[in-house]
């Protein structure tokens, strides 16, 4: 499959959904944006590096980078390779020498936090952009870390909520377990709310 190169466009904090952040990626040669809901810790880890801030002690992702550098491991690229039930899957393409590449599974938020530290390329596939991409005509391409407008976060939540209403109770329980296991607590809370609605009705 052909890879599509992405840039980090920015981070958005939702004033209406506590703890929800959207990491917005944009295709380099196009107008589509790929918003990914992430937690506060991961958003902070990405923002700190983008802003070139130096914490007093190494954060977890900094420690990983220092560890890799010490043992000659390079992060060549990050690929967001799948999207299942609203959850993005990513992998790190690493090498300890120029000949051998190793793929390591990672949460997308962690993968991006490492990508900005290693200054490596970020890719996804066309089918993911087609399924989850949003076109923001009025958003400048080089928005940097400036907040992307909150409707992006709201639109993600509304689409997710609509999909959840179509699921059976058993399916929702499985999705809830998967969201908690992947630490996607914002989605877990929406699934829980949908389950609670059904109990009351």
Q: Is 105 within 8 Å of 66 (Cβ atoms)?
A: no
Residue 147 is predicted with a pLDDT of: 42
Beta partners for residue 4, in sequence order: 124
For 66-106, the pLDDT digits (tens) are 999 999 999 999 999 999 888 899 999 999 876 788 999 99
* Distance of alpha carbon 125 from alpha carbon 98, whole angstroms: 25
Is the alpha carbon torsion for 133, 134, 139, 143 positive or negative?
negative
* Distance of alpha carbon 107 from alpha carbon 77, whole angstroms: 14
Out of 34-43, 57-66, 68-77, pick the least confident.
34-43
pTM over 0.75: no
Q: Is 68 left (phi over 0), alpha (psi -120 to 50) or beta?
A: alpha
Beta partners for residue 65, in sequence order: none
pLDDT bin (cut points 50, 70, 90) of residue 144 is: very low
Residue 36 is predicted with a pLDDT of: 87
Residue 150 is predicted with a pLDDT of: 46
For 174-200, the pLDDT digits (tens) are 888 777 765 566 667 778 888 888 887
Q: Where do runs of H (alpha helix) occur along the chain?
A: 40-50, 60-70, 108-118, 126-132, 151-165, 169-181, 185-200
């Amino acid at each position: 499959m052909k890879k599509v190169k992405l840039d980090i466009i920015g981070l958005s904090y939702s004033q209406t959904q506590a703890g929800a952040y959207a990491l917005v990626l944009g295709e380099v040669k196009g107008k589509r944006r790929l918003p990914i809901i992430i937690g506060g810790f991961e958003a902070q880890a990405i923002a700190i590096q983008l802003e070139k801030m130096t914490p007093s002690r190494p954060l977890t992702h900094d420690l990983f980078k220092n560890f890799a550098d010490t043992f000659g491991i390079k992060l060549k690229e990050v690929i967001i390779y799948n999207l299942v039930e609203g959850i993005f899957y990513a992998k790190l393409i690493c090498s300890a020498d120029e000949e051998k590449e190793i793929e390591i599974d990672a949460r997308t938020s962690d993968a991006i936090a490492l990508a900005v530290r290693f200054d490596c390329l970020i890719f996804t596939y066309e089918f993911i952009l087609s399924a989850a991409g949003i076109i923001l005509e009025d958003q400048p391409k080089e928005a940097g870390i400036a907040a992307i407008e909150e409707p992006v976060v709201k639109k993600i939540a509304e689409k997710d909520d609509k999909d959840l209403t179509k699921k059976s109770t058993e399916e929702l329980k499985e999705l809830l377990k998967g969201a908690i296991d992947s630490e996607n607590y914002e989605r877990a809370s929406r699934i829980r709310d949908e389950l609670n609605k059904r109990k009351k009705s």
